[in-house]
Amino acid sequence: MKYPIKNLVLMTLMVVSAGLAFVIRPTISIADERPPINLKAMVPTAFGDWQEQLTVSNQIVDPQRKQVLEKIYSETLSRTYVNSQGYRIMLSIAYGKNQSDALQLHKPEICYPAQGFMLLSTQPGKLDLLGRPITAIRLETSLGQRFEPITYWTVVADHVTKSGIDKKLTELRYAMTGRIPDGMLVRVSSIDKINDNAYALQNQFANEMIQAIAPEHRNRFAGDPSIN
């Protein structure tokens, strides 16, 4: 059986990581060195042309999966926002203090199909946040007549990871210094049959959200520009 080179590299990194675990055991949690995360307080309920909509929720949540996520993550946040034109965007943020192999960030490529969605496409993309591009992933998903384009990105410590391999290498670099990195996954999605329209509005939403977060917390959500 043949495996893509990317998968082989990732498998190699996992084996190396497992081997190093016997030699290097990180004991210092980066999360404990910084102010604690409080997603509800850090992310405003209104910013730019967007405000939280409390009466309508288009998010599909599996109760059993919700319980699992609450065990995996230190903090989660799920909200629906609407703009003056009535366009809705769903925001989901998951934060974990420990990004060990047992507590990896939960990717939409996994959780959406687990809830019955079809994964139509996956492609890398760029988000313009605070005037600089960051690496993101864009997905097309559907559930019956519900078409839900998704944009998400992951931050390990203050590094926006570009791929699964980059994420693993980042974790290894911190492990070599005896430190355990924290991590955050930020996902925005909307019910929209026109992908280009959805992705443009998601980019606008994400940029305005990051701008509205207090400057001392922004790197936790969008990465440190000096290292990304």
Rg, the chain, Cα only: 18
Query: Could you tell me the residue ranges of all domains in the chain?
Result: 5-222
- Of the two residues 64 and 111, the one the predictor is more confident about is 111
**DSSP state, 101?**
G
Helix (H, G, I), strand (E, B) or coil at 225: coil
**Choice between 107 and 43, residue whose per-residue pLDDT is larger:** 43
Query: pTM of the predicted model, to two decimals?
Result: 0.83
- Reported as a single tens digit per residue, the pLDDT across 70-93 is 667 788 899 999 999 999 999 999
Higher pLDDT, 16 or 42: 42
User: By C-alpha distance, which of 44, 29, 32, 148 is closest to 93?
Assistant: 44
Distance CA 92, CA 190 (A): 12
Q: What is the pLDDT of residue 163?
A: 78
**pLDDT at position 74, please?**
80
Q: What values do phi and psi take at 174, rounded to 5?
A: -70, -40
Nearest residue to 181 via CA among 26, 37, 75: 26
Between residues 98 and 42, the one the model is more confident about: 42
Q: How many helices (H) and strands (E) are present in the chain, helices listed first?
A: 8, 11
Above 80 in pLDDT, residue 12?
no
Q: Specify the residue for token string 């939409």.
A: 108
Q: Comparing 134 with 14, which gets the higher pLDDT? A: 134
Percent of the chain with pLDDT over 90: 49
Q: How far apart are CA 95 and CA 139, in angstroms?
A: 21
